[in-house]
Structure 1
Amino acid sequence: MSVTIGDLANALQAEAWGDLSLCVTGAGEPAQVDPVGPQGGLIAMAMAPKYAEALKPGSIAILAVGMDPAAYGLRAAIFAPRPRLVMAGLTRAFDKGPQVQPGIHPSAVIDPSAVIGENAAIGPLVVIGPNVRIGRNARIASHVSIGRDSVIGDDALLHPGVRVAHEVRAGDRLILQPNASIGGDGFSFVTPEESGIEEIRRTLGTRDGITQQHWTRIHSLGGVEIGDDVEVGANTSIDRGTIRATRIGSGSKIDSLVQIGHNVIIGEDCLICGMAGIAGSARIGNRVVLAGRVGVNDNIEIGDDVIAGGASKIFTRVPAGRVVLGNPAVKMETQMEIQKAMRRLPRIAQQLSKLQETVTRLLEKG
């Protein structure tokens, strides 16, 4: 695929410079991009002066506003008022995605009661269960399975190896990366008597006695409900609800290797980064950002627009708009003061030791 510099600039709503008829066939880092040839060439992502130093004369590039393309010997350039947003548009334009041939592959196993939308593409060895509904223009790559009574909206993209269980309802433009698992049973078990976990929560650590315990499964009767424009990363697991559905709000993006427990509610336009874990029945507001390895306790609420820094552990309710960090998570400014104080501890210990020695000597003299 190729597009001219002029057309690409229009699509990105950005200003262009130079020969706007030159063809762009893809994107690359400045050191990898050769001068543009008669058939076009790659466009260099050089949106800061430190990256532009590697540009080759005669090439084409995306630059930050204010940079001088003539100084780098470029033949054409596009100026990015917000570089990462321009990068999003550019990568979208050249992303071919997985190769899913049009139509239904002969090796796919589709229940006769399933409804497949217009122009859907279904790859090899896909299994689609009873009463499933697949939206228009959906692309389902190889080795995907979709359980009974599930609904996948229009323009969905399911990468190889995805597992969608029964009674999952997803909106339009869903993206599930390889091996994502949606709708597995929640991790919910109970003992006939008070369990050790319940005892510790009640006593805050004191054990009256330790007895044998046998766990009984609480079955998951709820499903998973996913809004529009949601993306779920590779090897991420979203558990189904116990009675009501686990819910993921429209526009939310979930990274790889994330665990979302049963009954969790995640709001709209959230960003959940890699290796985060959200325990059962937690409620996450809108536009919340959980950085990598953040842990969220069960049955707590995180308000709208909260940002949690990497590896934070959230055990209690977080009010809307707060930025938290640490284990246990506290206000970021408080955590920074804690870290400063911890760095001072060795010096304070030395000072205390000297003070004790001085007091001892004075007492001995007295």
Structure 2
Amino acid sequence: MAITIRELAQALDAQGWGDLDLKVTGAAEPQATGPVGPEGGVIALAMSPKYATALQPGSMAILAEGMDPQAYGLKAAIFAPRPRLLMAGLTRAFDPGPDIAPGIHPTAVIDPSARLGEGAAVGPFVVIGADVTIGRGARIGPHVSIGRGSRLGDDVLLNAGVRIAHGVTAGHRLIVQSNAVIGGDGFSFVTPEESGIEEIRRTLGSRDAIKQQHWTRIHSLGGVEIGDDVEIGANSTIDRGTIRATRVGNGTKIDNLVMLGHNVTVGDDCLLCSQVGVAGSARIGNRVVLAGKVGVNDNIDVGDDVIAGGASKIFTRVPAGRVILGNPAVKMETQMEIQKAIRRLPRFAEQLARLQETVTRLLEKG
């Protein structure tokens, strides 16, 4: 694939400079570029002066506004008013996507009652169950399975090994990375009498006589409902609800190795980073950001626009708009003061030891 600097600048809604007819065949870091030849070449991402120093004369680059392409000896450049947003457009332009051939592979097993929209591409060893509906332009990679009665919208992309259980509903433009599992049973069990967990919650730690207990499964009758423009990372899991559905709102992006428990509700345009775990029946608002390894307790509310720093552990309700950090999670400024105080503890201990020695000597003299 090759497009000209002029076409790329227009596609990115950005300003071009220099020889606008040069062909761009891909993108690279500044040190991996070289002079552009007759067949074109790669364009460098050099959107700050510290990266631009590695540019090769005669190459082409994407620069931040205000940078001087002549100073780097470039043949052509594109100016980025918002570099990372432009980078999103550039990578989209050159991403070929997964290698899924058009049509339905002969090894795919598709129930006669399933309905696939126009232009679907179905890879090898795919299994699609009864009464499944898939919209137009779907791309389904090898070894994907889709369970009975699930409904997927237009332009979905399911990469190799994705598992979608029965009764899952998803909107348009869903992207699921390899080996994610959507709609597995919730982890929900009960004992005939009060369990040790229930006792500890009631007593906050004290135990009576410890008794044998046996766990009985609570079956998951709900499904999973996913909005439009959702992305789900590799090896992530979303459990189905017990009675009502587990829900993920429009535009939410879920990283690799994320776990959403049964009955969880996640709002619109959230960002859930790797190793986030959300326990059953928690409610996450709109535009919430949970950084890596954040844990959310069951049955609590996290308000709209909350940002939780890495490894935070959220045990109680969080009001809308709050920035939190720590274990247990508190306001970020409070956590920073806590960390400062912890760093002072060795000095405080030394001071206390000296005071104790002083007091001891005074008492001995008295």
TM-score normalised by L of structure 1: 1.00
Report the AA paired with residue 360 of structure 1. T
CA offset at residue 16 of structure 1? 1.0
SS in structure 1 at match of 2:172: coil
In structure 1, the partner of 2:111 is 111
* 1:363 and 2:359 are equivalent in the alignment: no
CA offset at residue 271 of structure 1? 0.1
Task: Tell me the distance in 1 between the aligned counterparts of 2:281 and 2:201.
Answer: 17
Deviations 1:121-176 (A, max 9, x none): 10110000000001100100100000000011100100000000000000000000
Task: Tell me the distance in 1 between the aligned counterparts of 2:35 and 2:224.
Answer: 50
Task: Tell me the distance in 2 between the aligned counterparts of 1:36 and 1:137.
Answer: 36
In structure 2, the partner of 1:260 is 260
In structure 1, the partner of 2:183 is 183
The alignment's C-alpha RMSD in Å is 0.5
Following TM superposition, where does structure 1 have runs of at least 4 consecutive aligned residues deviating by more than 6 angstroms?
A: none
* 1:280 and 2:280 are equivalent in the alignment: yes
1:307-322 maps to which residues of 2 (within 5 A)?
307-322=307-322
CA offset at residue 290 of structure 1? 0.1
Report the AA paired with residue 264 of structure 2. V
CA offset at residue 360 of structure 1? 1.1
Task: Tell me the distance in 2 between the aligned counterparts of 1:215 and 1:249.
Answer: 33
Task: Tell me the distance in 2 between the aligned counterparts of 1:178 and 1:58.
Answer: 40
Task: Tell me the distance in 1 between the aligned counterparts of 2:46 and 2:180.
Answer: 34
In structure 1, the partner of 2:8 is 8
* 1:289 and 2:289 are equivalent in the alignment: yes
Task: Tell me the distance in 2 between the aligned counterparts of 1:33 and 1:110.
Answer: 47
In structure 1, the partner of 2:50 is 50
In structure 1, the partner of 2:298 is 298
In structure 2, the partner of 1:211 is 211
Task: Tell me the distance in 2 between the aligned counterparts of 1:199 and 1:278.
Answer: 23
Deviations 1:22-73 (A, max 9, x none): 1111100111112111111100011111111110001010011111000000
In structure 1, the partner of 2:90 is 90
Report the AA paired with residue 330 of structure 1. V
Task: Tell me the distance in 2 between the aligned counterparts of 1:102 and 1:54.
Answer: 41
Task: Tell me the distance in 2 between the aligned counterparts of 1:167 and 1:34.
Answer: 53
1:123-134 maps to which residues of 2 (within 5 A)?
123-134=123-134
Task: Tell me the distance in 2 between the aligned counterparts of 1:331 and 1:91.
Answer: 36
1:128-277 maps to which residues of 2 (within 5 A)?
128-277=128-277
Task: Tell me the distance in 1 between the aligned counterparts of 2:292 and 2:36.
Answer: 40
Report the AA paired with residue 115 of structure 1. R
Task: Tell me the distance in 2 between the aligned counterparts of 1:28 and 1:253.
Answer: 26
CA offset at residue 328 of structure 1? 0.2
User: Would you say how many aligned residue pairs link Structure 1 and Structure 2?
Assistant: 366
Deviations 1:199-255 (A, max 9, x none): 000000000111111000000000000000000000000000000000000000000
Report the AA paired with residue 104 of structure 1. I
Task: Tell me the distance in 1 between the aligned counterparts of 2:259 and 2:65.
Answer: 40
In structure 1, the partner of 2:72 is 72
Task: Tell me the distance in 1 between the aligned counterparts of 2:37 and 2:151.
Answer: 47
Task: Tell me the distance in 1 between the aligned counterparts of 2:238 and 2:46.
Answer: 38
SS in structure 2 at match of 1:298: coil
Task: Tell me the distance in 2 between the aligned counterparts of 1:34 and 1:143.
Answer: 41
CA offset at residue 15 of structure 1? 1.0
SS in structure 1 at match of 2:221: coil
Residue identity over aligned pairs, in percent, reads 77
Task: Tell me the distance in 2 between the aligned counterparts of 1:274 and 1:192.
Answer: 36
Between 259-268 and 34-43, report the one with greater CA deviation. 34-43
Report the AA paired with residue 37 of structure 1. G
Task: Tell me the distance in 1 between the aligned counterparts of 2:40 and 2:209.
Answer: 76
CA offset at residue 81 of structure 1? 1.0
Report the AA paired with residue 333 of structure 2. E
Between 3-12 and 329-338, report the one with greater CA deviation. 3-12
SS in structure 2 at match of 1:238: strand
SS in structure 1 at match of 2:234: coil
Task: Tell me the distance in 1 between the aligned counterparts of 2:235 and 2:274.
Answer: 10
Task: Tell me the distance in 2 between the aligned counterparts of 1:119 and 1:137.
Answer: 5
Task: Tell me the distance in 1 between the aligned counterparts of 2:159 and 2:200.
Answer: 43
Task: Tell me the distance in 2 between the aligned counterparts of 1:212 and 1:40.
Answer: 73
Deviations 1:64-103 (A, max 9, x none): 1111000000000001111110010000000001111111
Report the AA paired with residue 300 of structure 2. I
Unmatched 5+ residue regions in structure 2?
Answer: none
Task: Tell me the distance in 1 between the aligned counterparts of 2:173 and 2:298.
Answer: 30
Report the AA paired with residue 58 of structure 1. G
CA offset at residue 186 of structure 1? 0.3
Task: Tell me the distance in 2 between the aligned counterparts of 1:176 and 1:211.
Answer: 44
Report the AA paired with residue 316 of structure 1. T
Task: Tell me the distance in 1 between the aligned counterparts of 2:248 and 2:3.
Answer: 36
Between 14-23 and 163-172, report the one with greater CA deviation. 14-23
CA offset at residue 276 of structure 1? 0.5
